[in-house]
Amino acid sequence: METITTNQLTNAQIEILKLFSKPMSAKQLSNFRQVLLDYLQKQIDDEADEVWEKKNFTKKDEDKFLKTHIKRVK
């Protein structure tokens, strides 16, 4: 198993490790994961809203985006 030092972790990861140093049940772990995912989703939504407002996008733009196929380059 690889050893991880604290200088390889972000400040958020270190804080989470400190807060949750005791074992958790599967249910608690599932709930914790959901809280983190909800938080990250809100951050993404807020950032997207900010860009939307800055670019003055409209409902018409949204419909166009949804119908446009974007090919990804690998």
Helix (H, G, I), strand (E, B) or coil at 24: coil
Tell me, yes or no, whether 11 lies in a domain.
Answer: no
Tell me, yes or no, whether 45 lies in a domain.
Answer: yes
pLDDT of residue 2: 67
Tell me, yes or no, whether 49 lies in a domain.
Answer: yes
How far apart, in whole angstroms, are the C-alpha atoms of residue 61 and residue 66?
A: 9
Tell me, yes or no, whether 65 lies in a domain.
Answer: yes
Tell me, yes or no, whether 5 lies in a domain.
Answer: no
Tell me, yes or no, whether 10 lies in a domain.
Answer: no
How far apart, in whole angstroms, are the C-alpha atoms of residue 23 and residue 6?
A: 20
Show Cβ contacts of residue 14 under 8 Å, excluding neighbours closer than 6 positions: 6
Tell me, yes or no, whether 73 lies in a domain.
Answer: yes
How far apart, in whole angstroms, are the C-alpha atoms of residue 54 and residue 5?
A: 41
Number of domains in the chain: 1
Its domain, for residue 40, covers 24-74
Tell me, yes or no, whether 36 lies in a domain.
Answer: yes
| pLDDT one-digit tens code per residue, 11-70 | 988 898 888 888 989 999 999 999 999 999 999 999 999 999 999 999 999 899 888 887
Give the pTM.
0.63
pLDDT of residue 70: 77
